[in-house]
Amino acid sequence: MIGIISAMQEEVQSLLDALQNCNTVEKGMRTYYTGMLYNKPVVIVFSRWGKVAAAATTTQLINDFDLEELIFTGVAGGIDQQLNIGDVVIGKELFQYDVDARPFYQQFHIPILNLKSVSTTNNDKLNHAVSFFLNNYDTYILKEERINFNISYPKSVIGDIASGDQFISSMEKIKSLNLNLPTAVCVEMEGAAVAQVCYEYSIPFSIIRVISDKANDNAHIDFSRFANTIASNYILGILEYYFA
């Protein structure tokens, strides 16, 4: 079974709409949806925002369901100038930018594990799936929604992701992240926490993020609409090719 997590209900709504033989179970104030998606057994859950919520959901998911891999999906803010709204980031290394246990550990290193970042898996397979999706973009994304969010020629990159429990919305914070984590291309609030739990449980983990904004002073888009009409349909299309 493949686990799929997002931090917003809207980000997986298209998956839930396509889920066949759906059953639900309530645990820890979360609803876990099991069923078949593109002929693959899956369990889908909305984790809520932040590292604690995401880690708790992931732990429950791993302990209660027989997972062969876990995929996190959702939106992120771009901190690489080359990224635009609508681009796709396939996570490579996941950093917790708000972890600082100096002088006992180096900055960003996870205590006890002594890792600065956690690596993902299946990047090549995901990259192929994303490429097929982008080649058939108009099948999944309505023209009016693409125009509404000023998405023209979306691209994909495999890059590092920075996670932390704050919403980044200023150039000052972006400059700090660029300086301290120069390989990070986008920022969000859950991925590295999920990656750490998967690492400790030896569960293959991958992450797909759709750039919703530039994480700066102009980060004011309608996140709910973007998640529901853009990000949710991105993951639906990508998984159709990934599961093929």
Residues labelled catalytic? 11, 213
Cα(227)–Cα(211) distance, integer angstroms: 10
Helices (H), the chain: 13-18, 51-64, 123-135, 137-140, 143-148, 171-180, 191-201, 223-226, 232-242
Name the helix (H) or strand (E) containing 164.
Answer: none
Cα(46)–Cα(53) distance, integer angstroms: 10
What letter does residue 151 receive in the DSSP assignment? -
SS3 category, 156? strand
Cα(151)–Cα(5) distance, integer angstroms: 25
| Two tokens, residue 232 | 């949710």
Tell how far CA 198 is from the center of its chain: 14
Cα(4)–Cα(6) distance, integer angstroms: 7
Tell how far CA 184 is from the center of its chain: 14
